[in-house]
């Protein structure tokens, strides 16, 4: 497997070199907003330790991420009065992965409303408001 590249954008976010809209943080994980949101409330959960994806993640990294995913997904569902949640994880380029640091996408979903296409930059003020809305629902 390819070595972890500590210059990836999520590693830079963890080091504070790139700003992000933080939703939740604990000792092992960070959740922040996706700046190209495919749904309102689209956020990402990552481990604070290095791993490329689910294929090289340790059981401890996966457990920590899933605990945060559960917490944030429930808060996002509440915050956006969503009908459900879509959880996505892509591993390796052939699997659709673009940033090679393990991450889980959380999408609040509403019945009959499709996800937006990928790759469109969102409005930063709106994204910041969404981060605050989810964080408030976490408590």
What span, in angstroms and rounded, lies between the C-alpha atoms of 47 and 13?
12
What are the residues whose beta carbons fall under 8 Å from the beta carbon of 68, sequence distance 6 or more?
A: 24, 26, 28, 29, 31, 45
Query: Catalytic amino acids?
Result: 103
**87, β-bridge pairs:** 106
Question: Residue 63's pLDDT is what?
Answer: 98
Give 1's pLDDT tier (boundaries 50, 70, 90). confident
Q: Percent of the chain at pLDDT above 90?
A: 98
Check pLDDT > 80 for residue 114: yes
CB 79 within 8 A of CB 108: yes
What span, in angstroms and rounded, lies between the C-alpha atoms of 128 and 120?
16
Q: Record the pTM.
A: 0.97
What span, in angstroms and rounded, lies between the C-alpha atoms of 115 and 132?
21
Q: Percent of the chain at pLDDT above 70?
A: 100
Q: pLDDT tens digits, residue range 62-75?
A: 999 999 999 999 99
Question: Residue 139's pLDDT is what?
Answer: 81
Check pLDDT > 90 for residue 34: yes
CB 137 within 8 A of CB 79: yes
Question: Residue 50's pLDDT is what?
Answer: 98
């Amino acid at each position: 497997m390819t070595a972890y590249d500590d210059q990836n954008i999520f590693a830079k976010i963890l080091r504070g070199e790139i700003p992000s809209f933080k939703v939740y943080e604990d000792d092992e994980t960070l959740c922040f907003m996706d700046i190209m949101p495919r749904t309102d409330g689209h956020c990402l959960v990552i481990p604070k330790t290095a791993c490329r994806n689910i294929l090289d993640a340790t059981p401890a990294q996966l457990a920590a991420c899933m605990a945060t995913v559960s917490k944030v997904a429930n808060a996002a569902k509440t915050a956006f009065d969503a009908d459900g949640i879509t959880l996505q994880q892509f591993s390796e380029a052939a699997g659709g992965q673009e940033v090679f640091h393990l991450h889980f996408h959380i999408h609040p979903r509403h019945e009959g409303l499709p996800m937006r296409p990928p790759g469109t930059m969102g409005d930063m003020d709106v994204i910041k408001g969404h981060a605050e809305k989810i964080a408030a629902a976490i408590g």
